[in-house]
Amino acid sequence: VKALPVDIGTPPKPLLTEISRRTQNPRLTTLLQPDNKEQLAEYLEGRQIHDVLTEFDDARFRPQEFIALLRKLAPRLYSISSSLKAHPDEVHLTVGIVRYKTHGMARKGVCSTFLADRVGETGTVPVFIQPSHGFKPPTEGATPMIMVGSGTGIAPFRAFLEEREATEAPGPNWLFFGDQHAESDFLYLEQLESWREKGLITRLDTAFSRDQPEKIYVQDRMREHAEELWKWLEDGSHFYVCGDAKRMAKDVDKALHEIIETAGGKSPEDAADYVNQLKKAKRYQRDVY
């Protein structure tokens, strides 16, 4: 029998229902009422299967029964952060290790800590390639690129830049990179600095949000250079965003609209139209998660 990995993180509904049925615990039974979806979500926040089993510890399962109530372990996606032209036999990933604490317990991200702590140098990992639709450097090597990345969102841009270096693409490249602290989070610092010295990176603007009393983000750096950024867009630049979907992508989108309004002298409606045109022309691409 082939072992299928299962997810022992977030408790699935069938498992909760079964725990409730077996324990008749009034608290859990109430949480599972159709009207209490919000309360259930609040309860589950930061809790894993282990926490629920510890709390409702009179639930008893036979191993097979228990496993059958779990979800299959979902694959994790990672951007490829290298170009095959620069590393013909390799694929590089840029993985942020997920570690946090909830309800008094240290937690580990399944895949990121597997890669960081457990697989070792000789272990193997099952992988598949999912092609990205449209999130790639411009076909024309002379087309300018503006790249905005936060944290591991730098990954595809390192690949883009390696590709442009390997193909000697003459187009200018502008990278905005943001994270919390320059000291610990400036990914690929040496490679980026060397590309800047060589002229492959035309502009490198960084925003380390926690290195000064006031928070500075990539979108603030964009606004500081609104005129220049507008000029690049008018010169046909592609605009890429990668990284945090919750805040960064929205804030960057907002800043882009504002820059088109202020530096491009457009009304909010015309700026929105300009952004839509960029999207239609596949010049505005996002890969956010």
Task: Give the binding site for ligand FAD (CB under 6 A).
Answer: 9, 46, 76-79, 94-96, 98, 100, 102, 109-112, 152, 155, 287, 289
Task: In angstroms, give the least distance from the CB of 113 to ligand FAD.
Answer: 6
Closer by beta carbon to ligand FAD, 112 or else 143: 112
Structure tokens at 113: 């800590």
CB 19 within 8 A of CB 61: no
Supply angle C-alpha 141, 145, 150, rounded to 5.
Answer: 135
d(CA 229, CA 211) in angstroms, rounded, equals: 25
Task: In angstroms, give the least distance from the CB of 223 to ligand FAD.
Answer: 26
d(CA 12, CA 190) in angstroms, rounded, equals: 44
Q: Which residue is nearest to ligand FAD (CB)?
A: 109
Closer by beta carbon to ligand FAD, 94 or else 237: 94
Closer by beta carbon to ligand FAD, 37 or else 76: 76
Closest CA to 196 of 212, 174, 181, 177: 174
Task: With H, G, I as helix, E, B as strand and everything else as coil, classify residue 124.
Answer: coil
Task: In angstroms, give the least distance from the CB of 86 to ligand FAD.
Answer: 17
Task: In angstroms, give the least distance from the CB of 46 to ligand FAD.
Answer: 5
Task: In angstroms, give the least distance from the CB of 242 to ligand FAD.
Answer: 8
Rounded to 10 degrees, the C-alpha dihedral 78/79/84/85 comes to: -160
Task: With H, G, I as helix, E, B as strand and everything else as coil, classify residue 180.
Answer: coil
Closer by beta carbon to ligand FAD, 51 or else 261: 51
Closer by beta carbon to ligand FAD, 59 or else 111: 111
